[in-house]
Amino acid sequence: MKKENAEPQKLKIALYGVGSIGASIARLLLKKKGLEIVCAIDSAPNKVGRDLSDVIGTGEPLGIIVSNAPSEVLPATKPDVAVHATSSFLKNVFSQITELVEHGVNVISTCEELSYPHLSHRELAADLDRLAKKHGVTVLATGINPGFLMDTLPIVLTGLCQEVKQIHVERVMDAAKRRIPFQKKIGAGLTLEEFKEKMETGQITGHVGLEQSVAMIADALGWRLQRIEVGEVEPVIAETPVESEAVKVTRGNVAGLSQSARGVMNGKPVITLVFKAYIGAKEEYDSITIDGTPSIHEKISPCVHGDLGTAAIIVNSIPKVINAEPGLKTMKDLPIPSAVLEDMNRYLKR
């Protein structure tokens, strides 16, 4: 029989990927009550074998040694949920996610392609959904974008519309305020030739997730798109010298990139997403314009900080995932996002 005043059990968390975002998620988790980090997994040789607190830059040792052997630490620590932040591409993370699922661990990932894989990776999504149901766990991928600003938030705003004709979403950010791997990922500081070369060799991929965001909005509205057009990755050239703490961009070199995507229905673009990230962007904003009844224009200025927002939405999604039915879920399947401000146990239905 359950004791009346028994301490509720702490939720056991695995960290999978302790890079910039994984570390920032870990630092946020350490501030919350009702949970404990039980293991940390990463493949980087400069992290494996070190105490987690050393890797994420916090104080006293935590006694959690970063491991590159999930098959050993998962059965030994039996986490309830893994926060996963290793790669943007589903083909790279698929085996990592399936291993977690097979160990009975719920998963919340930052993998962009997993945020809405039902159109771009139909078979992998179906396989993952079946596997998650078989093991009684829930898998979700989310983040600031994809995951919230360019898909979930516009979808929520359409809840006030009697009719929706078109949706236009823009995110413009100064990359100097973002983590260094992000600045590198967008080619900041390169010459135009270096940028083109890295595009050709796949070292610069552009923003991953626009296609998934378009698909999620369309599915939420029941729109059957003819196609999704993802535009070329365009370099943004610095007109004056600009710099971040990590990167100097001389005039004429690449400060970052811009990219857009369109969902086309009946020959017309009905969803347009525009993403621009470059060092020195003067006006930073997230804007959503819905042409409908009523029309809605919403602008967040300056734009929401991507790395802080991503760590938050991953942690805030933990109770939503634990409370959800098993299977592969997307943000549009779960209750509306909200902050976890106190003891994690307060938000759990168990």
Ligand X SMILES: NC(=O)c1ccc[n+]([C@@H]2O[C@H](COP(=O)([O-])OP(=O)(O)OC[C@H]3O[C@@H](n4cnc5c(N)ncnc54)[C@H](OP(=O)(O)O)[C@@H]3O)[C@@H](O)[C@H]2O)c1
> Is 151 a binder of ligand X (CB under 6 A)?
no
Q: How many CB atoms lie within 10 A of CB 72?
A: 12
> Minimum Å distance from CB 208 to ligand X?
7
Site mask, ligand X, residues 89-118, x = CB under 6 A?
-------x-------------x-x------
How far is 94 from 350, CA to CA, in rounded Å? 29
| Identity of the residue, 89 or 285, whose beta carbon is nearer to ligand X in the bound complex | 89
Instruction: Indicate the SS3 state at residue 143.
Output: coil
| Identity of the residue, 19 or 269, whose beta carbon is nearer to ligand X in the bound complex | 19
User: Nearest residue by C-beta to ligand X?
Assistant: 19
Q: Are 97 and 128 in contact (CB under 8 A)?
A: yes
Q: Are 254 and 188 in contact (CB under 8 A)?
A: yes
> Minimum Å distance from CB 330 to ligand X?
12
> Is 76 a binder of ligand X (CB under 6 A)?
no
> Is 22 a binder of ligand X (CB under 6 A)?
yes
How far is 150 from 197, CA to CA, in rounded Å? 29
Q: Are 349 and 188 in contact (CB under 8 A)?
A: no
Helix (H) or strand (E) holding 270: strand 268-278
> Minimum Å distance from CB 337 to ligand X?
13
Q: Report the Cα–Cα distance between both ends of the chain, in Å, rounded.
A: 15
Kindly identify the residues of this chain, within the stretch 163-202, that bind ligand X according to CB under 6 A: 179, 181
What is the pairing mode between strands 248-249 and 81-84? unpaired
Instruction: Indicate the SS3 state at residue 2.
Output: coil
> Is 145 a binder of ligand X (CB under 6 A)?
yes
| Cβ-proximal residues to 109 (8 Å cutoff; 6+ apart), any chain | 83, 84, 85, 93, 97, 139, 140, 141, 142
Q: Which stretch binds ligand X (CB under 6 A): 79-87, 118-126, 217-225, 289-297?
A: 79-87
| Identity of the residue, 110 or 272, whose beta carbon is nearer to ligand X in the bound complex | 110
Which one among 10, 20, 99, 191 touches ligand X, defined by CB under 6 A? 20
Interaction site with ligand X (CB under 6 A): 17-22, 41-44, 47, 85-88, 96, 110, 112, 143-147, 179, 181, 310
